[in-house]
Amino acid sequence: MSVHPFDLAIALDAVAPGRYRGHTSTAYANMIGPFGGITAAQLLAAVLRTDDRHGTPLACTVNFLAPVADGEFILSVRKTRQNNSSQHWLVELLQGDDPDPRANATVITALRRETWNAIEIPHPPVPPAADVAVTEKPALMRWPDSYEFRFIEGGFPSRSEGPELKSSCTIAWMRDQPPRPLDFPALMSLSDSFFPRVFVRRPRWVPAGTMSITTYFHCTDTDLAAVGASHLLAIANGQVFNGGFFDQTAHLWSDGGQCLATSHQIVYFKE
Amino acid sequence: MSVHPFDLAIALDAVAPGRYRGHTSTAYANMIGPFGGITAAQLLAAVLRTDDRHGTPLACTVNFLAPVADGEFILSVRKTRQNNSSQHWLVELLQGDDPDPRANATVITALRRETWNAIEIPHPPVPPAADVAVTEKPALMRWPDSYEFRFIEGGFPSRSEGPELKSSCTIAWMRDQPPRPLDFPALMSLSDSFFPRVFVRRPRWVPAGTMSITTYFHCTDTDLAAVGASHLLAIANGQVFNGGFFDQTAHLWSDGGQCLATSHQIVYFKE
């Protein structure tokens, strides 16, 4: 049985205490360099590889500082604080002789307890994944081939210019392609799988890229095991576009109606 | 003329290259230790104090790693990346002999350009600030005395238990008390000025605290100068409460209708 491309992408070799060597993945290539979601997943995977980690991911902020070049990278992981029920981590992605990181992340891992639970964000009425057609992908970059998209609202940004829309909302059933049981790195990557909202809102391709993404996890390993390889309901919305930057939010739901993750990112764009 | 308490709170002494000494402020004290918003403002202020910073804040993620003790602290600032139109920063708050930071922040500063602008989040219909009564504060901690709150929806959490609400939404006009011209550190602090949504949603005081906050700025110095000391429309909503943690979002609007900042935070709570 062959190894799933996502597992190959997040595979890390321990080269020294707190240092792991990884490699960019052609299956998750963007137009230039890797898809940001896979870089985010690799940074989170480094924390999960440490010997003294306890708990599961609660929050992960990834900053994209400079383009990641195709090839090897080193992930340097530092535990910045150990508390009774949580740990804080700082991860840096380094390449070649460059003394500055190309990406970094702050991560919180924590032990969850059974408590009063509630979901305040709306879950839109949607047809089941099986009733929504799989969308053909634009052949512009590789990484979308590693996901299955079934769009309910919105879709891939058009390559031709169109009139400005009032909303950049996208609603889709999504999962890894080929299907793969969900884990935290995959959920992190999925939280960054939404095209820049500026492409959707004002149909026109312009240079754009995520500068920082923060994802909050609302689930345990048990919750993710229950999801398995089924589809997630993925919802993204733009917020404020100003001065060459904008932010967008995302909600990722299991098909059982649990909100597994909420995410927020800031993106640059050029005209 | 006396110095504003906020200016005293964010005052920093340069003690070495990239190292600044600050001091907690009794005007912004929480029940135990400082209000998280003032700590976040201090971390951001350290970046703004550096000699080689260009641009204005675009994104600021602050992680609260351990309680900040009343008294002095050192802010250690490192520029992690210099790009043409943006800079990335890492700030750590250190106290006493503790080798680990008590708080840290990743900050992006950037040069904004005039571009196509849009706001996709809703601005609720609200009466002007002058038509909304100033709310009396609960005498539980000091920091709310440093703000003026005029609640339109929601209010200070009740000290008595009540039935669970369907929404934790709060809408209020807010500003510094005494009034002070808005700047980025003040906007950062205001973005953390919302009580934990769990107190509002399920009226009951329980131990709770922000673990990480991310604020995105959608404004320039010129925009903030136009706001001056007028009120901001502040809107907060809870998202997902699960396993002893929840996240909440915030939007901060000028009274002229510009969305100045959007924010997202993850909070622990105990039952």
Q: Is B207 or A22 the better-scoring residue by pLDDT? A: A22
Query: Cβ of B59 and A212 within 8 Å?
Result: yes
What pTM value is reported for the model? 0.97
d(CA B209, CA B62): 13
Q: Are strands B232-242 and B245-254 parallel, antiparallel or unpaired?
A: antiparallel
Residue with tokens 């807010």: B174
d(CA B265, CA B63): 10
Amino acid at A105: A
Predicted local confidence at residue A164, as pLDDT = 87
Predicted local confidence at residue A101, as pLDDT = 98
Predicted local confidence at residue B200, as pLDDT = 84
d(CA A151, CA A158): 14
Q: Residue A26 is encoded by which pair of tokens?
A: 């052609």
In chain A, the DSSP E strands lie at 13-16, 19-23, 56-64, 72-82, 86-94, 103-110, 118-119, 147-153, 170-176, 208-217, 232-242, 245-254, 259-269
Residues β-bridged to residue A168: none
A169: helix, strand or coil? coil
pLDDT exceeds 70 at position B111: yes
d(CA B54, CA B57): 9
Which residue intervals of A50-114 are DSSP H helices?
Answer: none
Query: Cβ of B61 and A117 within 8 Å?
Result: no
User: What whole-number percentage of chain B has pLDDT above 90?
Assistant: 85
CA B69 to chain centre: 19
Query: Cβ of B88 and A59 within 8 Å?
Result: no
A128: buried, middle or exposed (CB in 10 Å: 19+, 13-18, 0-12)? exposed
Low-confidence ranges of chain A (pLDDT < 70): 1
Predicted local confidence at residue B160, as pLDDT = 76
Question: Nearest chain A Cα to B61, which residue?
Answer: A61
Predicted local confidence at residue A200, as pLDDT = 84
Residue with tokens 């609260």: B64
d(CA B10, CA B4): 10
Predicted local confidence at residue A203, as pLDDT = 78
Q: pLDDT band at B166, cuts 50/70/90?
A: confident
d(CA B189, CA B39): 8
The answer to whether residues A45 and A57 touch, using CB atoms and an 8 Å cutoff, is no
pLDDT exceeds 70 at position B251: yes
d(CA B209, CA A187): 25
Residue with tokens 């943690």: B245
Q: Please list every residue in chain B whose beta carbon sits closer than 8 Å to the beta carbon of residue A212.
A: 59, 61, 106, 108, 214
pLDDT in tens, B16-27: 999 999 999 999
Q: Please list every residue in chain A whose beta carbon sits closer than 8 Å to the beta carbon of residue B115.
A: 241-244, 269, 271
A146: helix, strand or coil? helix
d(CA B46, CA B222): 21
pLDDT exceeds 70 at position B1: no
Q: Residue B32 is encoded by which pair of tokens?
A: 């135990």
Query: Cβ of B269 and A115 within 8 Å?
Result: yes
Total CB pairs under 8 A between chain A and B? 202
Query: Cβ of A116 and B61 within 8 Å?
Result: no
